[in-house]
Amino acid sequence: MKAFVENRFGLLVLVVVALSALYGVAFVTRPAPAQPRAEGPRKVAVESVTAVCPGAKGTQVNVYLPGRLSHEVMKNADPYVTNGPGALEAGYTTRVTSGALRGLSGVRCTEPAPVAWLVGPGPAEGDVLLHLTNADKSPAQADVEVYAAEGPVSGDKGRGLEIAPGEHKEIDLRTLAPSADIMAVSVTTVFGRVAVAARASMRAGGVDWLPLAAPPATRVVVPGIPGGGGRRELLVAAPGKSDVSVQVKAVSQDAEYAMKGRETVDVPAGSVVAVDVTTGIGGESAALVLTAPAPVVAGLVVVGTGQRQDVAFTAGTPALDLGSAVAGNGAGTRLLFTALGGPGEVRVQEVPAKGAAGKPFAVTVPAGRTKDVRLRGKGDFAVVVTPVSGQVYGGRVIEERQKSGLLVTAQPLAPARMWTMLPVLTDSARVVAP
């Protein structure tokens, strides 16, 4: 054996045998091949939800969970906070028929989010109250930025707002932007978790809650514009550092088209522009599609008809790919659906507070058209929208006709909390780098 080892050829054989043995062990114990990574976000189930509504003493909040609708009356003016499993929705609608706050007002309880956007009238046109709620047991901090027709106007006054655990702040936006007649508001959570809502009471009449708008994007769809008389005003904000030329198309019940004289809207950097689209949509139920080379945010003001005006708001929102649900509905509710890029279909179900849920029914929407669907519910009920096919956008409208004037409230159909889109995750040392 000693002679074999000392022989250079024998030593070479031993090395080859050893390497072969190591290779064999490595081959047998090698890990399974990695699965190919998904190219885009994947759909995952939501496990739990925290929803926060601004407080309104004596108001009934409707809470929806799959298959059932319950309600609770708020005992004081503190924010209403509810926790539950995925698919939870909550909200309320108030009805005032006289006085300075006359109008229908609908609000969806919102979940805390890193960034929230709101688009609507400014303090020069009415009282606009921003609600910030920290429902957690740890402190939070938020920055509020207000954009107006003349550009960013809030400066440093809205930055570094501290919200203690369980605290609720009400901010009169007149303190941040006293002269703004139109505005876009961004609320960025620096740390902690903050839920955002805002209500506008117009000096010309009418009151409603501003729905959360889709974050800045190069394509924005504003659905749920009710037909009928009254003014319709589109608000577009360009929060970036460059001027933006926005292409605007209307999608009505009868056609998809560029509105004459409103085909393009030029928005200076960091500002908001208002465009009267009343004649452009001609009193039909519709949606507006905005396309721009740089990200924009959009909303729309609906003014009712009659001796006393009411007001409602809708805003840019994603398609109904994840479904949607609205907890607080009543008599006079209708849904407006718009299909883009091809025909679409959704399934609609009404869930009353008492009795069994209604049988789901299908709604088919032709390509490039808006469809108006009147619901039969008369008492309190939730409405659930499930996507079937196509790219469909939607909004909820409630109307009540009175001798003194139309009462109206509107909101876009926000994505259901049953599902969320999880972005692609990659292994990288950058996640722990300072």
Domain assignment of residue 290, yes or no: yes
Count of domains observed in the chain: 1
Domain assignment of residue 427, yes or no: no
> Cα separation of 52 and 41, whole Å?
27
Domain assignment of residue 371, yes or no: yes
- Is pLDDT above 70 for 18? no
- Domain range holding 51? 42-422
The encoded tokens of residue 225 equal 């514009």
With a CB cutoff of 8 Å and minimum separation 6, the contacts of 332 are 398, 399, 400
Q: Name the β-bridge partners of 108.
A: 91
333-339: average pLDDT:
98
Q: Give the pLDDT confidence of 340-385 residue by residue, as tens digits.
A: 999 999 999 999 988 888 899 999 999 999 999 999 888 899 999 9
At 265, is the pLDDT very low, low, confident or very high (cuts 50, 70, 90)? very high
Domain assignment of residue 26, yes or no: no
> Cα separation of 343 and 398, whole Å?
26
Q: Give the pLDDT confidence of 279-325 residue by residue, as tens digits.
A: 999 999 999 999 999 999 999 999 999 999 999 999 999 999 999 99
The encoded tokens of residue 138 equal 């740890």
- Is pLDDT above 90 for 203? yes
Q: Give the pLDDT confidence of 232-247 residue by residue, as tens digits.
A: 999 999 999 999 999 9
The encoded tokens of residue 347 equal 């399934």
Domain assignment of residue 137, yes or no: yes
Domain assignment of residue 19, yes or no: no
At 431, is the pLDDT very low, low, confident or very high (cuts 50, 70, 90)? very low
pTM summary value: 0.87
Q: Mapped to the 3 state alphabet, what secondary structure does the chain carry?
A: CHHHHHCHHHHHHHHHHHHHHHHHHHHHCCCCCCCCCCCCCEEEECCEEEEEECCCCCCEEEEEECCEEEEEECCCCCCEEEEEECCCEEEEEEEECCCCCCEEEEEECECCCCEEEEEEECCCCEEEEEEEECCCCCCEEEEEEEEECCEECCCCCCCCEEECCCCEEEEEHHHCCCCCCEEEEEEEEEECCCEEEEEEEECCCCEEECCCECCCEEEEEEEEECCCCCCEEEEEEECCCCCEEEEEEEEECCCEECCCCCCEEEECCCEEEEEECHHHHCCCCEEEEEEEEEEEEEEEEEECCCCCCCEEEEECCCCHHHCEEEEEECCCEEEEEEEEEEEEEEEEEEEECCCCCCCCEEEEECCCEEEEEECCCCCCEEEEEEEEEEEEEEEEEEEEEECCEEEEEEEECCCCCCEEEECCCCCCHHHHCC
Tell me which amino acid residue 192 is: G
> Cα separation of 268 and 251, whole Å?
26
